[in-house]
Structure 1
């Protein structure tokens, strides 16, 4: 295969991986928005009459969304590592368009280390704490 063909294939592969990274980053943003929306709806519901509501009803969905956010961030980071590995290879190396689980698992960070990142808990924990505080300060809390 000639060098221009190899370069074109490399660019095509990198574009595919970049598209996946963009979709995963978008999913992460959607998870953040959904988290705020659901917790806001729960706070509004908690203010209703004859409603028995407890603090854990904010914490549980908040933690679930935090775990989803960590999962999408873990996948995004894995594909960024895959992208960087492919971009660093010499142009003479043949490009394989197969993206299988083995390739992704080889470059994937541990879930718990992703969950411990400031990106995750720096957003979700203050948000959950804010909703819990708003609930406690409300007349029904």
Structure 2
């Protein structure tokens, strides 16, 4: 038998709602990464075939734009995870039942820190650096 807290039906339903939001945000982040890598690859391939290098700045802007968008989704996911932990916990100040206000009850999550986290730097930082190098060393 487990010694953890016993959750009532209302809190369990609230946790299910939060889990579904967290799953959707994680899926959106995954899809954004896939689209960014695919579109950047296409633009670099087009830049290789064309005499000019006009498409490389577009690929760089695309990588930065997707980086910002993914940072938004990852920040939202972290806020909802913090809200989930608060609903599960037995703290003194629990959030209201069925609240989805992650900004207010989730805790502090810096958007800048999310943008510079390892997963985002590895994906978008590498793409942006590669595009910058291509811009410098082409023609």
TM-score, scaled relative to structure 2:
0.78
- Equivalence for 1:115: 115
Q: Which residue is 2:29 aligned to?
A: 28
Relative CO higher for 1 or 2, CA cutoff 8 Å, sep ≥ 6? 1
CA RMSD in angstroms comes to 2.8
Separation in structure 2 between the aligned mates of residue 135 and residue 75 of structure 1, nearest angstrom:
33
2:44 aligned residue:
43
- Give 1:53's aligned residue: 54
SS in 1 for 2:8: helix
**Residue 77 (str. 1) matches residue 84 (str. 2):** no
Asked if structure 1 preserves the Cα contact closer than 8 Å seen for 2:72 and 2:111, the reply is yes
Contact 1:28 1:69 in 2 (8 A): yes
Once residues 26 and 95 of structure 2 are traced to their aligned partners in structure 1, the CA distance between those partners, rounded to angstroms, is 28
Give the direction of change, closer, same or farther, for the CA distance of 1:54–1:30 in structure 2 (3 Å limit).
closer
- Structure 1 partner of 2:99: 98
Q: Runs of 5+ in structure 1 lacking a partner?
A: none
1:50 and 1:59 map into 2 onto residues whose CA distance is 18
Say if 2:25 and 2:76, in contact at 8 Å, map to a contact too.
yes
TM-score w.r.t. the length of structure 1 is 0.77
